[in-house]
């Protein structure tokens, strides 16, 4: 494998060049990871918490450098990249705050002459395969609970954002964590799949495409390995007739367009009660038109370029498919440049979108906002569930009971009332159907990164 080059999605210049990890280097990484895992296991949870918090502080001290690396590699507006550093720190600190309680032994009720506990032991070495769209957040979802639970982490970041793995490795080294606690490598897809089959890897956490998830699962076919998979979404929103109208409009547009729509939990399709439909469309359109495309390092830019070179053509195909099935294109729908630079895609608004349009069934991963009317809660529910993906869904209503009734029936890992495109680290992050399996974050996020051990002590005969 030759030197890997990452282009800047705005300038076209080289944003990063990375040398692949050689077989000899990978062997050394694996051995250091095994040693790091042994050292972490011997530490108390409290000592691990200290190292994690120090690593968090080290990352925060480099906020500007990390944010600029993110922006140059994948095009996120710089203000949003800075915000991602803050979001990562928030998740680290939350997981650290609950680690001692979450990892403590479960003590069973007294039984005469016996002591019974369930202990949680670390697995060993975790392979973390984060995504490029939120390169810190998708990484920290694995790193934080893994290290806190006593595991070492080998991070192979996305080819689009390879520099982000080095930031984590440097921070944990500066924090005084045992050698091998967090290491960054760079491999191509074939070498990564081969690594998944290595017996020295005890767990894998992957954030990416459904196709990538299938390939990694196949790579582990000869091992009893339960791979954690977060594979994206086609996340629906339902605007009920009793919603807080102005706030709903504002939040749904932001939920669709933030990060140029390159988010697994972005709003990707909107079902609006027919009593509000035209009013909603009329209110949304000026907000969509107001986005400012341009240099992502400029504070004036609110919509950055598309990260991957091939993706603007895919987004155009989604729009053409929708209009061929009767949808009306109100704004956008084209790839474009700003002052001759960048691979942008215009913020796009579609109305009257057919249920069989690809954009209503597949993950588009771009600044597309398709809207269609519904006559009832029941129709909205049926359409929201009519997808092979199920990461998040949102219900916009002032009636908590309505939201709860729908939430219990929606096929999604997270259901929001009056919010979207958000993650609370106190709640489990998971998907259903082709959105993946497994859980990260919350107290439940430690479960897949530990194994239970039964302690069954007879105290006296």
A 10 A CB-CB count for 452 gives 10
| Alpha-carbon span 225 to 301, nearest angstrom | 44
Name every residue whose Cβ is closer than 8 Å to that of residue 247 and which is 6 or more positions away in sequence.
Answer: 418
What's the sign of the alpha-carbon dihedral 333, 336, 338, 344?
positive
CA distances from 5 to 14, 15, 192 (A): 7, 8, 18
| Alpha-carbon span 429 to 417, nearest angstrom | 16
Helix (H, G, I), strand (E, B) or coil at 353: coil
Pick the catalytic residue from 56, 164, 243, 264.
264
264 is catalytic: yes
| Alpha-carbon span 26 to 98, nearest angstrom | 33
| Alpha-carbon span 221 to 211, nearest angstrom | 16
Q: Which residue has the tokens 């029941």?
A: 378
| Alpha-carbon span 142 to 399, nearest angstrom | 35
Contact by Cβ (8 Å): 48, 196: no
Q: What is the token pair recorded at 455? A: 């302690």
265 is catalytic: no
| Alpha-carbon span 430 to 415, nearest angstrom | 11
Helix (H, G, I), strand (E, B) or coil at 389: strand
Helix (H, G, I), strand (E, B) or coil at 209: coil
Residue 341: name the closest of 302, 294, 306, 301 by CA: 294
Q: What is the token pair recorded at 384? A: 């929201």
Q: How does DSSP assign 316-343, residue by residue?
A: HHHHHHHHHTT-EEEE--SEEEETTEEE
Pick the catalytic residue from 84, 166, 230, 363.
230
Active site residues: 230, 264
């Amino acid at each position: 494998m030759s030197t890997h080059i990452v282009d800047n999605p705005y300038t076209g210049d080289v944003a990063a060049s990375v040398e692949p990890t050689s077989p000899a280097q990978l062997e050394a990484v694996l051995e250091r990871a095994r040693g790091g895992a042994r050292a972490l296991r011997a530490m108390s949870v409290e000592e691990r918490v200290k190292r994690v918090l120090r690593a968090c502080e080290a990352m925060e001290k480099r906020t500007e450098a990390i944010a600029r690396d993110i922006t140059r590699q994948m095009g996120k507006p710089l203000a949003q990249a800075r915000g991602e550093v803050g979001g990562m720190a928030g998740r680290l600190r939350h997981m650290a705050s609950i680690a001692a309680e979450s990892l403590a032994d479960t003590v069973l009720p007294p039984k005469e002459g016996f002591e019974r506990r369930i202990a949680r032991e670390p697995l060993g070495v975790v392979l973390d395969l984060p995504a490029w769209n939120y390169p810190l957040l998708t990484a920290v979802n694995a790193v934080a609970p893994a290290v806190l639970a006593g595991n070492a982490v080998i991070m192979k970041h996305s080819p689009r954002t390879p520099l982000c793995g080095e930031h984590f490795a440097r921070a944990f080294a500066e924090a005084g964590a045992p050698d091998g606690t967090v290491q960054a490598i760079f491999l191509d897809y074939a070498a990564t799949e081969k690594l998944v089959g290595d017996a020295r890897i005890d767990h894998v956490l992957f954030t990416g495409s459904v196709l990538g998830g299938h390939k990694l699962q196949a790579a582990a076919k000869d091992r009893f390995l339960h791979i954690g998979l977060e594979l994206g979404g086609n996340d629906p929103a339902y605007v009920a007739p009793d919603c807080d109208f102005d706030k709903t409009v504002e939040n749904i547009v932001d939920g669709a367009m933030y990060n140029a729509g390159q988010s697994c939990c972005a709003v990707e399709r909107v079902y609006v009660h027919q009593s509000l439909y035209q009013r909603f469309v009329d209110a949304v359109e000026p907000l969509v038109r107001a986005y400012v495309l341009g240099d992502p390092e400029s504070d004036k830019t609110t919509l950055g370029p598309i990260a991957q070179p091939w993706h603007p053509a895919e987004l155009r195909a989604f729009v053409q498919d929708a209009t061929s099935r009767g949808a009306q294109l109100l704004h956008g729908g084209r790839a474009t440049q700003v002052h001759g630079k960048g691979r942008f895609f215009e913020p796009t608004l579609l109305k009257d979108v057919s249920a069989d349009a690809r954009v209503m069934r597949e993950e588009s991963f771009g600044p597309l906002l398709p809207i269609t009317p519904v006559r009832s809660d029941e129709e909205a529910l049926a359409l929201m569930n009519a997808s092979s993906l199920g990461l998040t869904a949102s219900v916009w209503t002032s009636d908590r009971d309505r939201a709860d009734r729908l939430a219990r029936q929606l096929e999604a890992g997270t259901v929001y009332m009056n919010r979207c495109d958000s993650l609370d680290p106190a709640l489990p992050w998971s998907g259903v159907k082709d959105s993946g399996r497994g859980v990260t974050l919350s107290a439940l996020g430690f479960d897949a990164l530990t194994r239970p051990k039964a302690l069954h002590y007879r105290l006296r005969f």
